[in-house]
Amino acid sequence: MKHEHRIKEVLPGSIAEELGVEAGDLLLAINDEEIEDVFDYHYYVNDEELTVLIQKPDGEEWELEIEKDYEEDLGIEFEQGLMDEYRSCRNKCMFCFIDQMPEGMRETLYFKDDDSRLSFLQGNYITLTNMSDHDIERIVRYHLEPINISFHTTNPELRCKMLHNRFAGDALKKVDTLYEGGIQMNGQIVLCKGVNDGEELERSIRELSRYLPYLQSVSVVPVGLTKYRDGLYPLEPFTKEDAKEVLRVIHSWQEKLYQEYGLHFIHAGDEWYILAEEEMPEEERYDGYLQLENGVGMLRLLHNEFEEAYEDAAGDDIERSVSLATGYLAYPYLKKMADRLSQKYTRTKILIYPIRNDFFGERITVAGLITGQDLIRQLTGQELGTRLLLPCSMFRSEEEVFLDDITRSELEEALQVPVDIVKSSGQDLIDAIIGTETGRY
């Protein structure tokens, strides 16, 4: 057997535990098929009748015959989440955020992934330049979806330039195979001023719309520019007038495509509306919020959730004082919500502080890229009330650590105030402010 996958954990009460599978065992095959990676595993393990070949640490092989419900999991976790090495990105994109980070941060932050399996499992966006025909064939055969694709442009020559990869243009042909295989896809375009905007953006939208309905959404987000761009491709920030033009193009295509397909398809990131000083679209324009992770519709969803929760909010109107910190992007919206909540809870004092991103540079305005050191510098000496509320996006996934490795407890010690991590919904925000437990992480 070429591939052996070591089991890290067997979940309590699972099928695998009942059959005597243990941590340290090796998975060799399912239904006499060698398991290459997580794609194969997810496909074969779905069957109702399985023959699973396990090798114990002493070399003894067990052949387990299993009957189960369709798509019921075996309860096995592997030492490598993908059951294979992670594939790093081979591109040198002119807009890559990782290339714009300072030295001295934790090593994992500098890893550039471009792995189709992470697209399927975690929703990561991939460029397709790292995918073989074998990978594409397995996605279609196993019908693994959705696959999220970083397009940036449909102009092959321009894509080669933007990704600094001479194969980047040819990689777009893989989309045809996914489309013909009926695989659901989502796309993104990182827009760079003077590079893939204007007529190039029009071309990209026009050509990508031909993949409807399987390509169900494409987001357009402005390039993020930090202060660490020495030696990198010279990119300029978008202006208010630029943002208005981008929105004009997107809105015109939305109207056209909605009439034809019943989908708005092309979506603008929230930053465009803030930069253009225009109102966020109504909820219906987001087609079910398919691009939330790309910052598309997050503020509209937060607003609507807040309004719905506001009507039903029933906490006691007691004397309290809390503070919130966020990025400049969301600050005006959170300030409006806080003012509205104060009308209902007149004895509640809500202090909101927009945090300037000194670490990455002032052009970075999202809350998720705020560091602990910027919070400490800008909040020290400020009135913070009895609790400081911070959005969960500021912290590493499932951990209480900021990008610069400052921990929540270190922040609490520096500011001398308890810190609550708040989930992302409007209901959670209200619950956290008025002191109920459901809004706290």
Q: Report the alpha-carbon distance of residue 402 to residue 423 in Å, rounded.
A: 16
Domain 5-78 falls under CATH 1.10.3720.10: no
Q: Tell me if 295 sits within 8 A of 269, measured CB to CB.
A: yes
- pTM greater than 0.85 (yes/no): no
Q: Give 181: exposed, middle or buried? Use CB within 10 Å, 0-12, 13-18, 19+.
A: middle
Q: Report the alpha-carbon distance of residue 149 to residue 189 in Å, rounded.
A: 9
Instruction: Read off the tokens for 385.
Output: 């009330």
User: At CA 273, angle to CA 272 and CA 276, rounded to 5?
Assistant: 85
Look at the domain 301-439 and name its fold.
Rossmann fold (3.40.50)
Q: Report the alpha-carbon distance of residue 294 to residue 288 in Å, rounded.
A: 14
- φ/ψ (deg, to 5) at 303: -60, -50
Domain 98-294 falls under CATH 3.30.70.20: no
Radius of gyration (Cα) for the chain, nearest Å? 24
Q: Tell me if 45 sits within 8 A of 73, measured CB to CB.
A: yes
Instruction: Identify the CA nearest to 126 among candidates 238, 181, 135.
Output: 135
Lateral strand order in the sheet of 348-355? 348-355, 320-327, 387-391, 419-422
Q: List the chain domain ranges.
A: 5-78, 98-294, 301-439
pLDDT by position in tens, the chain (length 441)? 467 789 999 999 999 999 999 999 999 999 998 888 777 887 888 889 999 999 999 999 999 999 989 888 899 988 776 565 555 567 788 988 878 888 777 766 545 555 445 445 555 788 888 888 888 898 898 888 889 999 999 999 999 999 999 999 999 999 999 999 999 999 999 999 999 999 999 999 999 999 999 999 999 999 999 998 888 899 999 999 999 999 999 999 999 999 999 999 999 999 999 999 999 999 999 999 999 988 999 999 999 999 999 988 877 778 889 999 999 999 999 999 999 999 989 999 999 999 999 999 999 999 999 999 999 999 999 999 999 999 999 998 778 999 899 999 999 999 999 999 998 899 999 999 987 543 343
Lateral strand order in the sheet of 266-268? 125-126, 147-150, 185-191, 215-222, 266-268
Instruction: Identify the CA nearest to 35 among candidates 2, 69, 72.
Output: 2
CA contacts within 13 A on the Cβ side of 386: 9
Q: Tell me if 89 sits within 8 A of 115, measured CB to CB.
A: no
Q: Report the alpha-carbon distance of residue 119 to residue 401 in Å, rounded.
A: 25
Q: Tell me if 295 sits within 8 A of 271, measured CB to CB.
A: yes
Which three-class secondary structure state does DSSP give residue 324? strand
* HEC secondary structure over 337-393: HHHHHHHHCCCEEEEEEEECCCCCCCCCCCHHHCCHHHHHHHHCCCCCCCEEEEEHH
**pLDDT for the residue 109:** 59
| Residues linked to residue 116 through DSSP beta bridges, in sequence order | none
